[in-house]
Amino acid sequence: MTKQGKYTYGIIKSLDSKKFDYSGLGAGIEDNPVYPLTYKALTAIVSDAPIKYYEPDDEHAMAHRRVVDDIVKGCIILPAAFGSILKSVGDISNIMRRQYGIWNGLLRKMDGKREYGMKIFWDKDRIQKEIQETNEAARELTEQLKEKDDPRAKVQLKILLQDELITRGNEYVTDIHEQLKEYSTASKSNDLVGKKMIFNGAFLVKNDLEGEFVKKIDELEKLYSALEIKAIGPCAPYNFATVRLRFR
Within its chain, how far is the Cα of 148 from the centroid?
Answer: 49
Q: What is the pLDDT of residues 163-177, one digit of tens each?
A: 888 998 999 999 999
Report pLDDT for 248: 46
Q: Where are the domains positioned within the chain?
A: 4-111, 114-235
The whole-number pLDDT of residue 234 equals: 93
Kindly report whether the global pTM for this prediction surpasses the value 0.75: yes
Query: Could you give the angle at which helices 136-147 and 151-181 cross, rounded to 10 degrees?
Result: 150
Per-residue 3-state assignment (H helix, E strand, C coil) for the chain: CCCEEEEEEEEEEHHHHCCCCHHHCCCCHHHCCEEEEEECCEEEEEEEEECCCCCCCHHHHHHHHHHHHHHHCCCCCEEECCCCEECCHHHHHHHHHHCHHHHHHHHHHHCCEEEEEEEEEECHHHHHHHHHHHCHHHHHHHHHHHHCCCHHHHHHHHHHHHHHHHHHHHHHHHHHHHHHHCCEEEEEECCCCCCCEEEEEEEEEEHHHHHHHHHHHHHHHHHCCCEEEEEEEEECCCCCCCECCCCC
> How many Å from the N-terminal Cα to the C-terminal Cα in the chain?
17
Residue 1: the pLDDT is: 61
Q: What is the pLDDT of residue 246?
A: 62
Q: Which CATH class is domain 114-235?
A: alpha beta
Residues in CB range of 172: below 8 A, 6 or more apart: 120, 122, 198, 224, 227
Taking the C-alpha atoms of residue 156 and residue 219, their distance in angstroms, rounded to an integer, is 36
Q: Which string of b and e fits 132-147 if b means at least 16 CB within 10 Å?
A: beeeeebeebeebeee
The whole-number mean pLDDT for each consecutive block of 10 residues of the chain, a chain of 248 residues, reads 88 89 80 94 95 87 93 93 93 94 96 95 89 82 78 82 89 93 94 93 95 95 92 94 74
